[in-house]
Structure 1
């Protein structure tokens, strides 16, 4: 499992905990329901990184594709 995948798992766990009404300590900081948007922003960032790694692992380049016109 890559670092990006590990971080994504942590953000998913933190999001679930906060949604269940629990507070969670993450990166030395205690987060509660008020911090849910921050947790979601972090999750989205790590989802992008995991997707970028997966794309790179399959030999494709993210962000654009080339077309040939004849």
Structure 2
């Protein structure tokens, strides 16, 4: 199965987070990010995680974000 753009972006954010946590700076999207930018990296990572989950749910024919329950 080919990797989607969303999965590729998520992988880049994970790599960027790991690099910053190791004390390195990383150039991402034309910006150099350091430990001070970790929250921005994590925000972007969460966005791409949502997109990957949404794509995965769509390919399985399901819906993402909620489920239904019946209470008797």
After TM superposition, is the score higher than 0.5?
yes
Give 1:9's aligned residue. Answer: 11
Q: 1:34 corresponds to which residue?
A: 36
Q: Deviations over 1:1-46 (max 9, x none)?
A: 0000000000000000000000000000000000000000000110
For structure 2, list consecutive stretches of 5 or more residues without a partner in the other structure.
Answer: none
Query: Residue 14 and residue 66 in structure 1: after superposition, are their counterparts in 2 closer, same or farther (change >3 A)?
Result: same
> Mind listing any 5+ residue stretches in structure 1 that lack a counterpart?
none
Q: TM-score, normalised by structure 1?
A: 0.90
Match of 1:53 among 48, 52, 55: 55
SS state of the match for residue 30, structure 1?
Answer: strand
Deviation of 1:68 after TM superposition, in Å, equals 6.5
CA RMSD of aligned residues (A): 1.6
Q: Which residue, out of 17, 20, 24, partners 1:18?
A: 20
The aligned residue for residue 46 of structure 2 is: 44
Runs of 4+ in structure 1 deviating by more than 2 angstroms, as ranges, are 63-69
